[in-house]
Amino acid sequence: MSETPDKLWGGRFEKPTARRVEEFSTSLPVDRRLLREDLAGSIAHCRMLARQGIIPLDAARAILAGLAELVEQVDQLAVAQDSRWEDVHSLVEGLLRERIGEPAGWLHTARSRNDQVALDERLYTRRALADGASAILDLQAALLALARRHQDVILPGYTHLQRAQPVLLAHHLLAYVEMLSRDLGRLRDAYVRADVMPLGSGALAGAPYPLDRAYVAQLLGFSAISANSLDAVSDRDFLVEHLAALSLVAVHLSRLAEELVLWSSAEFGFVEIDDSYATGSSIMPQKKNPDVAELVRGKTGRVLGALVALLTVLKGLPLAYNRDLQEDKQGYFDAVDTVHACLELTAGMVQTLRARPERMAAAAESSFSTATDLADHLVRRGMPFRQAHHVVGQIVRACLASGRELHQLTLDELRHFSPLFDQTAVGLYATDSVRARNVPGGTAPEQVRQQLERAEGALSETRQWVQWVRERLPNLERLARAPLEAAPGVDSRAGA
């Protein structure tokens, strides 16, 4: 804060900041999470300043030694309560000054908190994107394993929450794998725009020093450097994109959770949720409640709210940095934590889920689920589909009146409604309906096997991408210990 023991800034002012203002404006309880990123950025910046001969080498060595000491204590510092500092940047600089004294003042040369926080957030976002992708892959793997175990199980597919046509359970589960694949695509796409290094933009106009921004980007594993300093310090599009992607992940998890809630009810009985992912009732001893699935469904609102909140903060801001941008982190961090936790717990639920094929099969054979197949039978024998639809509707009405299912009707009974019926229309079961849909993307067993193979191949490829991202992220401890480098053409004794 402005009234710190070291007065890191504030020489312009005659009065200290009001205590209530300090309490209102501090961001340290939120942005303390960026401590590792702030240390990494500070180390890379100091190395570049020394390499370019912009600050004295003895000061750079002292700074790096002090930062390395902070790196060793980073886990303790990340949770320590210290109200002296306004934000994570003043925390790092203040603690560094306590350790090495005046040389710490050289560290902020050629940078501003504006480009510093933009860097920290991008470093954090890149890691969070990789973590999120990895969590999605774990859930996809759990869904694929469940699908593999139950490739022949049939259940009713639904529209309007009414039984519609039979599908394979594996086909149903693969629908969620597809949703999550799109989520992975959005995370990977968002990574491209997060992977831009803003440091060197200064407060808004750049810096009057011979900075080697590409060297800093190399140290921190960025693929590109920002092209416009005004945009670099005020851009939070990468956070919006990540939040938008997380919002869709949350929506997809909510849809899956809703089905688990329905399927585990006595009315459906399609699955049983493992005891470790269910809870009891405070008053009814017989209850087994799908609370984890319900919470996953419920927490979606928080994630969507974080996206709307950030968009609202950004919508009226002029260039460049404005203090409103301090409000970009709390909802974002909460959304990241929430979605990643929901992904982990949903994967655990799916891994331990017990399917009940007999209940699914019984449901698939009832409620006239092969009615469309009867209509298609008439179409293949020359009847327009709309007329066939009407004929089969009459058959369903007759079955409802007599309490029978379609597969129980004889050929003579079918021909009462149309002479086009032949013996192949008699005794149609859900398995016949499923096998008939042998088109790309369909629920036929052959198609589902191909879908499983494609999904497993995509899973492997995306895991390689996650590994590639992780290898590019800076290793804080290694970065802190590396020796200083001298730039070509720069006197290594400069400023010594």
User: What gap in Å lies between CA 367 and CA 369, rounded to an integer?
Assistant: 6
326 contact partners, CB below 8 Å, separation of at least 6: 25, 27
User: Quick one: pLDDT band at residue 90, thresholds 50, 70, 90?
Assistant: very high
79 has a pLDDT exceeding 90 = no
Active-site residue, 281 included: yes
Of the candidates 19, 181, 202, the one whose C-alpha atom is nearest the C-alpha of residue 112 is: 202
Q: Which of 83, 223, 265, 281 is catalytic?
A: 281
pLDDT in tens, 418-467: 999 999 999 999 999 999 999 999 999 999 999 999 999 999 999 999 99
What end-to-end distance do the CA atoms of the chain give, in Å? 33
User: What gap in Å lies between CA 179 and CA 104, rounded to an integer?
Assistant: 50
Residue ranges of domains in the chain, CATH in brackets: 19-109 (1.10.275.10), 114-362+451-472 (1.20.200.10), 371-428 (1.10.40.30)
Q: Answer yes or no: are the C-beta atoms of 218 and 495 closer than 8 Å.
A: no
- Is omega for the bond preceding 130 within 30 degrees of 0, making it cis? no
Q: What is the pLDDT at residue 18? A: 86
pTM summary value: 0.93
The string of DSSP letters for 435-484 reads: HH--STTS-SHHHHHHHHHHHHHHHHHHHHHHHHHHHHS--HHHHHHSPP
Of the candidates 282, 279, 346, 302, the one whose C-alpha atom is nearest the C-alpha of residue 136 is: 346
Q: For strand 196-197 and strand 224-225, is the pairing parallel, antiparallel, or unpaired?
A: parallel
User: What gap in Å lies between CA 5 and CA 20, rounded to an integer?
Assistant: 18
293 has a pLDDT exceeding 80 = yes
pLDDT in tens, 163-172: 999 999 999 9
Active-site residue, 160 included: yes
pLDDT in tens, 34-70: 999 999 999 999 999 999 999 999 999 999 999 999 9
Q: What is the pLDDT at residue 20? A: 87
User: What gap in Å lies between CA 260 and CA 342, rounded to an integer?
Assistant: 14
SS3 274: coil
Residue-averaged pLDDT of the chain: 94
